[in-house]
Structure 1
Amino acid sequence: MSHVTKTMTKTDGKTWIEALTSAIAAVNQPNFASSLVELIRLLVDFDCAVILGYSAKRRPVYLFDELPIQRELLFQYYLNRAYLDDPFYRMLQDDERTMQGVFDLASLAKDLGLNPDYLNDFYQATGWQEELGLVISIEQNRWVVINLGFIANKSQPVSFKKKAMLNQLTEVFELIAALCRQHWGTKPFVLAEPPLTNQAMQAHVNAALSDFGAAVLTKREHQVVRLILQGFDSKAIAEQLVIGEGTVKNHRKRIYSQLHVASLSELHGLFLNHLLTYSP
């Protein structure tokens, strides 16, 4: 009998079917990621979880975390610079490699190599002994990676049961991937998804983005400026809006003219002031 089938029959706590039902109901809702992690936890006894959105040649975007310790390392170090040396990130930048499946960090590091600075300056500080990752292709050049962390100094090493955990996750991978595609399939990875307690902040930022420059910009210019403010360069904007890169550059010139700014830093400063003073 498979592990999943056994989990379906649990009588203590939530069963697999109950957790799956909750995750399905949470698709496109703020509690989806937490429901998904709860579902996975019925299969694998991990200590920490981080979910990130990846796009080709772009920095990862925060989607969710359950980090009981050292949470600041994710935001202050990993998302600012350390991600460049992460074997999961590096794998996704290599067109020759498999872009989807269940992987463990130790095997990826052995295959791709591991920067000693990443190991010594960042990874050891997290306290993670091992890491399993579900790499899910949402669409071409866009992935969700669910990282499951195991804290060091436990009595039984993770390696003792890693093969079984990889098999369990592989068994349900397509189901988890389908749920992720339903939830994140139409959402570009541009703004971090806030914790449940910060939903009002996200709503305020989105409303301010929608209002910024609306009185003087055309609909297309407004689409372009939203993407500029979220870190897209001209090439990425052209791909996102399915227009020519030269057209994007023309829009940028007119946006700067209409908003009376001369540089990207001035544009960001103008938006920051708008964000702080915006009231719907």
Structure 2
Amino acid sequence: MRGKSEVYHRGSLALVWDQRMLDAQVALWQQLGKPSFFAAILDVLEAVCPVDSSGLLVFYRQQKPLSLLHRFHPFDRSLHADIYSTGPYALDPQYQLFLKGCASGTYWLADVAPDDFYQSSYYTAFYSKIGVADSIDVLWRIDDNTALNFFMQRNINSNTFSRADVQALNMVMPIIDAALLRHHQLATPLPLANSADQTHLQVEATLSNFASSLLTPRERDVLWYLLRGYSSALTAEKLQTSDGTVKIHRKNIYRKLEIGSQAELFSLFINCIPFARPGLPEDPLHSYQQAQEPSHPIAAL
């Protein structure tokens, strides 16, 4: 039985053209070329599929995501969602999908996340801490290096999305695509990617060099699958090795990094980002550990 504070959202296999949908569709075309257009897109998406929170990010290859709009509905959060752009985005399955060059479309977390995502360090230490349990992203590519990402979220007190929600969103996608294309022709261009974005450069340097001073190359291969939520079995399949070998590597990673959980691993990765030095093959973990060591003043002679 669900508690009084819990919410159950009902999906639909068809679009319901009620007054809310009608108003949202009219407003969508009225706001073309205007700053309020993106809010109108969200209004249409939310009329199709009920959510607890939603928003819009611009995904870039050469800089951290840019938040243009965020609608929060009240529920408990132990982390502020803005922390996403300080580094956790690098492990986001939806952002990883963008980097792989996926086409414009509707992407449900259940379809794109690794098999152990809900047990991963990313989920336990970040995703769940901002109160989110499930998401559907509507991604619209501007070019190979840039995309608009409209995210729709259900929180931990609601039911997750369903295949019916995805199907309903796909029904309205031709309208969304046509509106976005026309808006893109009329509106002021979005900010260009900044190749000198320091945060993104540090994230990339951390991805390249994290724990390189302590782990073997093979252990670091396993590390990245571990951080992103791949099970030992799927990691073994990706690396063309055995499940048992991956489990041994995982055990060695925990021992060498002196951690006892995936949450600690995620926190260690995030904490190392400010210590990364872009362009240099230095392990930011080494610099981070040095900064944590207590200073020992020289004894007076």
Q: TM class by shorter-chain length?
A: 0.5 to 0.7
Partner of 1:169: 169
**Separation in structure 2 between the aligned mates of residue 180 and residue 112 of structure 1, nearest angstrom:** 34
Match of 1:38 among 7, 22, 43: 43
Q: Does 1:73 align with 2:80?
A: yes
Deviation readout 1:215-260 (Å, 9 max, x if unpaired): xxxxxxxxxxxx7xx84449xxxxxxxxxxxxxxxxxxxxxxxxxx
Q: Shift of the alpha carbon at 1:80?
A: 1.2
The CA deviation at 1:113 is 6.0
- Once residues 31 and 104 of structure 1 are traced to their aligned partners in structure 2, the CA distance between those partners, rounded to angstroms, is 26
Q: For 1:112 and 1:99, locate their aligned partners in 2 and report how far apart those are by CA, in whole Å.
A: 25
In the alignment, residue 86 of structure 2 is paired with which amino acid?
N
The answer on whether the counterparts of 1:27 and 1:182 sit within 8 Å (CA) in structure 2 is: yes
- Contact 1:57/1:93, CA 8 A, preserved across alignment: no
**Structure 1 unmatched runs, 5+:** 191-226, 235-280
Q: Which structure has more RCO (C-alpha within 8 Å, separation ≥ 6)?
A: 2
Distance in 2 separating the partners of 1:187 and 1:72: 33
1:121 aligned onto 2:125: yes
AA in 2 matched with 1:182: R
Aligned residue pairs total 183
Residue number in structure 2 paired with 1:93: 99
CA contact (8 A) 1:51 1:144 kept: yes
**Can you list the C-alpha shifts for 1:168-187, whole angstroms capped at 9, x where unaligned?**
00111122122223334665
- 1:231 & 1:112 partners in 2: Cα distance? 34
Give the corresponding residue for 1:64.
69
The C-alpha deviation readout for 1:97-150, integer Å capped at 9, x for no partner, is x32211111221136967923112210111111101111112332211111000
Residue 144 of structure 2 corresponds to which residue in structure 1?
140
In structure 1, the residue corresponding to 2:136 is in which secondary structure?
strand
Please tell me whether the aligned partners of residues 117 and 123 of structure 2 are also in contact (alpha carbons under 8 angstroms): no
Measured in 2, the distance between the counterparts of 1:119 and 1:25 equals 39
Structure 2, unpaired ranges of 5+ = 1-11, 198-301
CA contact (8 A) 2:139 2:147 kept: yes
Q: Judge conservation of contact 1:43–1:169 (CA < 8 Å) in 2.
A: yes
Q: Which aligned pairs between 1:1-280 and structure 2 lie closer than 5 A?
A: 3-4=14-15, 7-8=16-17, 10=18, 13-14=19-20, 16-69=21-74, 70=77, 73-75=80-82, 77-95=83-101, 98-110=102-114, 116-154=120-158, 157-159=159-161, 162-184=162-184, 187-190=188-191, 231-233=194-196
Contact conserved, 1:104 with 1:133, CA < 8 A, in 2?
A: yes
Which amino acid is 2:173 matched to? F
Q: Structure 1 pair 184/118, CA: closer, same or farther in 2 (3 Å)?
A: farther
Q: Distance in 1 between matches of 2:79 and 2:184?
A: 25
2:13–2:165 contact (8 Å) kept in structure 1: no
Amino acid aligned to 1:17: L
For residues 115 and 61 of structure 2, what CA distance do their matches in structure 1 show? 20
